[in-house]
Structure 1
């Protein structure tokens, strides 16, 4: 039997950081991990965090819990046939309802080969405290991801005061009294906490999030044909509507030989220098992002 974990969490919560940390711990214990990663965009940015020696399957530009269910089943079948692994980690998009996503991996074709350990939801603690600023649909999904978790990571706790930390734990426990709650930074979770999980199919009532029709969450690839200053680019970012949840990609910056890795999540911006030529484009994820004005659009970027 191969253990399976489903990593859930709203966009920008820290799922990929948790994934990298857990993969390292599994290897240190001599276990062989495999990963299925679901991304809304057409470019697999998050998959670059997975080492080449880890079997990886990607589901791009889709949703693991909707039409992507069949794709997920096919990817699991392929891994079981082709790869030698002990533990399977499925990282969903921030738009995935965790229980629907978990149901996507309960297939009679390989049920006797997989041991579903549970749903691990990463919650951005600061975003939790400001959840009333989200749209009703996004807030509903955020709450569902927490309500159905077997283990909750109250992540980015280093950004909070002690009083705020206590408030987050108290409120999360009120929403999901059955889950164990860990306060974390950078998604660091002890492997022992994962091993202690054991999910039971159908243990909670599923409330479909109807993501495709009601949340209006989608992605957009934006390509650039000129460079910007960091100040110019960040000024554009500050003017974005609150419905833009995350951006990730490579931005050409004046004075830099190669485009810089740029990440944005709920108002937080991160720049990381790159040392090789990367495609000058970013993926924007949010609600109705196709209507968001793009920097330099007057120059046809």
Structure 2
């Protein structure tokens, strides 16, 4: 029997990992053993503690849809040899990955005899969706990337509804209907909560992905070259108020930041999650006591180095 595959897509900060964690909980209840491929642009995954009890293969320092696709194929080769150890495969690409590139690898005869693509799940950040698609606030490369991620989806999760008004939600719905066909289900939610049975029980077709669109995607294989990721280690302890204020002051060209920090007066390590206009921090529950305080910043390359210098000046020991 082939192994069902779910490809997780969506721009930086949309909530892909939260949706994936909800799917992991569902697998546990269904007595399914998942395998997970996690891809990060940076050289380290600062969220690995979230998957301590899961079978996870990390592919770091590049994007498996193009620049390090060979690593992706090697991982699939490994999983094919170990197919009896898992029931379902989840693939979370980077926030700038184009899932059609992953799909085309999985459809190659070598892999299609073992893996069966059930769904391409695209997660969207409702709070930033319209601004990211606006020619007045985004580059043409970013706009094209977001359109590709949405238009290739077989299931769309419109996440973070708590951050938008009813009027803005209406505009979001209008824009979505311009981009996707009526046959693609759209689920509106917060905190990545999705109807598990709807996702797991139905195998979605990929017939709506035309050959013409695939050709367009090939022309944009490196359209995310304008995105850069930098990692900063040796982050000194800071007050929560100071760190949040600094993050909220950053320019729109920073699309994502995440990391592990110490807060003044607190014993625990804290997870930092930043997306534009949204900063969250919470204590990390982990058995790993050897964590290294570090931050990863992802954004447009012309701004990211300046942000790195500013952070090191303010918070590095």
TM-score, normalisation: structure 1: 0.90
* Higher mean C-alpha deviation, range 171-180 or range 203-212: 203-212
Change in CA separation of 1:30 and 1:254 when aligned onto 2, cut-off 3 Å: closer
Corresponding residue of 1:281 = 294
1:143 pairs with one of 141, 147, 163: 147
Q: Is the 8 A contact 2:231 2:294 kept in 1?
A: yes
Change in CA separation of 1:203 and 1:225 when aligned onto 2, cut-off 3 Å: closer
Are 2:305 and 1:290 equivalent residues in the alignment?
yes
Matched residues in 2 for 1:197 and 1:169: separation? 24
Matched residues in 2 for 1:300 and 1:55: separation? 33
Change in CA separation of 1:101 and 1:110 when aligned onto 2, cut-off 3 Å: closer
Change in CA separation of 1:161 and 1:108 when aligned onto 2, cut-off 3 Å: same
Matched residues in 2 for 1:277 and 1:55: separation? 21
RMSD: 2.3
Identify unmatched segments of 5+ residues in structure 1: none
- Cα shift readout 1:218-268 (whole Å, capped 9, x = no counterpart): 211112353322233233323322111111112232222344221111121
Q: Aligned residue pairs: how many?
A: 300
- Cα shift readout 1:116-140 (whole Å, capped 9, x = no counterpart): 1121100111111322233322122
Matched residues in 2 for 1:245 and 1:229: separation? 23
Report matched runs for 1:1-301 at 5 Å. Answer: 1-52=2-53, 54-83=54-83, 84-131=85-132, 132=134, 133-177=137-181, 178-194=183-199, 195-200=201-206, 203-204=209-210, 205-206=213-214, 207-208=216-217, 210=220, 212=222, 215-224=225-234, 226-274=236-284, 276=289, 278-288=291-301, 289-292=304-307, 293-297=309-313
1:78 Cα deviation (Å)? Answer: 1.0
Q: Is the 8 A contact 1:173 1:179 kept in 2?
A: no
Q: Is the 8 A contact 1:13 1:123 kept in 2?
A: yes
1:96 Cα deviation (Å)? Answer: 0.4
SS in 2 for 1:182: strand
* Higher mean C-alpha deviation, range 145-154 or range 269-278: 269-278
Q: Is the 8 A contact 1:247 1:265 kept in 2?
A: yes
Change in CA separation of 1:201 and 1:87 when aligned onto 2, cut-off 3 Å: farther
Matched residues in 2 for 1:99 and 1:225: separation? 37
1:284 Cα deviation (Å)? Answer: 0.9
Matched residues in 2 for 1:39 and 1:23: separation? 19
Change in CA separation of 1:67 and 1:105 when aligned onto 2, cut-off 3 Å: farther
Matched residues in 1 for 2:314 and 2:119: separation? 48
Matched residues in 2 for 1:15 and 1:291: separation? 27
TM-score, normalisation: structure 2: 0.86
Matched residues in 1 for 2:255 and 2:243: separation? 17
* Higher mean C-alpha deviation, range 130-139 or range 87-96: 130-139
